[in-house]
Amino acid sequence: MKQVKIISLFLFLVVFPLGSWFYLQKGLDFRKALGKELEVKGQLTDYISSPAGLEMFRDKTSLVILPNADIDTDLLDEIYEQFKQAYTFQLVNGNRKYDNSVFSKDREWVNQTFNADNASLTDKTAFIVDKEMNVRNYYKNTDAELKSLVRQLAISFPRRPARDIIEKKDIQKNEE
C-alpha cells in the first residue's frame, strides 16, 4: 500500500506536470510559428483602393476576398460560418460571384467594390487585414493555402477586452 502512495505521489508531482508542460509548450511553439507567418506585409492602402473608402476595415479583423477569387462557395460559407461569431471578424467580399451567398445578408459579411492595386496579389484569392489596417498574409486558391488561411485567421483575432468591474455603492436611506 505504501508503494502505491509513493507511485501516485510521483505521478501527481512529477509526471503529470511535466506532461502538461510539454503539451502546452508544443501549443505555444505552434502559435509562435503562426505568428511569424502573420508578420505585417504592408498597409492596406498599398494593396487595394476603393471608391467608398477603406474605413470599414478599421477596428475589424477582416478576411478580404479579392475580385479575381475562385474559392468554392461551399468552402467560403464554411469559413464564414466558423468565424462569424469571432470578436471583430468581418468578411469583405470583393467578388460579385459571392454576392448571393447564403450568408451574404449577415452583418459580418460586407459586399464591397475595390481594386487590387498591388502586383503581389495577381495570383491570390484572399488576404487577412488586422484591426490597424495592416495586411498580415495573402493566400492562393490551393488546399494547403486555404488550410493555412483558416489556421492563421483563427489566431489573428485580438483578445476581447476585459469588462470593467463596477462597484455599486450602498444607498442608505435616511430615516427621519
Res 169: pLDDT = 65
Rounded CA separation 82/154 (Å): 9
What nine digits make up the cell of 17? 506536470
Res 171: pLDDT = 53
CATH of 40-155, one of 3.30.420.40, 3.10.310.30, 3.40.50.720, 3.40.30.10: 3.40.30.10
Q: List the chain domain ranges.
A: 1-37, 40-155
Q: What is the mean pLDDT of each run of 10 residues along the chain (176 residues)?
A: 87 89 93 88 86 83 88 86 88 80 69 76 88 91 91 85 71 50
List the one residue out of 116, 95, 93, 111 whose CA is nearest residue 47.
Answer: 116
